[in-house]
């Protein structure tokens, strides 16, 4: 069972996330474990200080090394992967999610303020990941994104009604359009082919729509 530890200054941000939907069920079934830790637990002063002013001046605050080193030293295990979520990390993709789902133990570190002391990155981080080209106020949601995407690759987490087979990014193409009942809604009809029962034609139609969508929205995926 993959074990995931999350280190954050905002543990309550993940309360609802961990209780709901497919991930919530996966946790209940012990298909993975996620433990969220308040980084301030490893602070030692009475104000529970986790940040300080940057050397060299400049705006904002930087997360201090001591609590993060202490937390890593307590939580890490042989062969675990220690990951820092950061906008200047490598892109987090479906392929990375799939690879991470096969790891035994992950520690996800969420930053805040202006980021974290560089010595943390050099000594106690194995991998740096960005969930996209934008800047969040802190990395807790980024950790949630990583957990949500990787849990889908853990055998048994997706029920029968949910499948990875035709998903965007599973192959080279984005997903095709989906329809459900009613077949007519406010003057809009479901494409006839989907009602035909002809599976070969349906597959052909879906492949063509997926290709069309990918060409328009993400031509880079076709290169």
Ligand X SMILES: C[S@@+](CC[C@H](N)C(=O)[O-])C[C@H]1O[C@@H](n2cnc3c(N)ncnc32)[C@H](O)[C@@H]1O
Q: Which residues bind ligand X (CB under 6 A)?
A: 85-88, 110-112, 114-116, 130-132, 134-139, 142
- Looking at beta carbons only, is 135 or 216 nearer to ligand X? 135
Measured distance between the N- and C-terminal CA atoms of the chain, rounded to whole angstroms: 37
- Looking at beta carbons only, is 146 or 151 nearer to ligand X? 146
- Looking at beta carbons only, is 91 or 171 nearer to ligand X? 91
Q: Tell me how far, at minimum, the Cβ of 117 lies from ligand X, in Å.
A: 11
Q: Which residue is nearest to ligand X (CB)?
A: 111
Q: Tell me how far, at minimum, the Cβ of 114 lies from ligand X, in Å.
A: 5
d(CA 134, CA 186): 38
- Looking at beta carbons only, is 127 or 193 nearer to ligand X? 127
Asked whether the beta carbons of 155 and 26 are under 8 A apart, the reply is no
C-alpha torsion sign, points 42, 43, 45, 46: negative
Q: Tell me how far, at minimum, the Cβ of 93 lies from ligand X, in Å.
A: 13
Which residues lie closer than 8 Å to 131 by C-beta, 6 or more apart? 85, 92, 142, 145, 146
Q: Tell me how far, at minimum, the Cβ of 108 lies from ligand X, in Å.
A: 10
Asked whether the beta carbons of 111 and 6 are under 8 A apart, the reply is no
- Looking at beta carbons only, is 43 or 138 nearer to ligand X? 138
d(CA 81, CA 101): 11
- Cβ atoms < 10 Å from Cβ of 159: 10
Q: Tell me how far, at minimum, the Cβ of 66 lies from ligand X, in Å.
A: 17
């Amino acid at each position: 069972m993959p074990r995931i530890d999350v280190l954050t200054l905002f543990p309550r941000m993940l309360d609802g996330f961990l209780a709901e939907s497919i991930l919530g069920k996966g946790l209940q079934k012990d298909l993975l474990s996620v433990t969220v830790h308040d980084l301030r637990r490893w602070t030692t002063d009475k104000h529970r200080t986790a940040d300080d002013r940057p050397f060299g001046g400049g705006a904002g605050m930087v997360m201090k090394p001591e609590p993060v080193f202490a937390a890593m030293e307590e939580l890490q295990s042989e062969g675990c992967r220690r990951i820092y979520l950061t906008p200047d990390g490598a892109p987090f993709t479906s392929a990375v999610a799939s690879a991470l789902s096969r790891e035994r133990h992950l520690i996800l570190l969420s930053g805040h303020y202006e980021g974290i002391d560089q010595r943390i990155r050099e000594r106690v981080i194995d991998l740096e990941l960005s969930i996209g080209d934008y800047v969040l106020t802190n990395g807790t949601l980024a950790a949630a994104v990583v957990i949500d995407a990787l849990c889908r690759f853990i055998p048994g987490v997706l029920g029968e009604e949910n499948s990875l087979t035709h998903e965007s990014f599973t192959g080279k193409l984005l997903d095709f359009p989906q329809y459900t009942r009613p077949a007519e809604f406010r003057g809009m009809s479901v494409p006839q082919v989907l009602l035909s029962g002809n599976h070969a034609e349906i597959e052909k139609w879906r492949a063509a729509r997926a290709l069309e969508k990918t060409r328009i929205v993400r031509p880079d995926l076709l290169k």
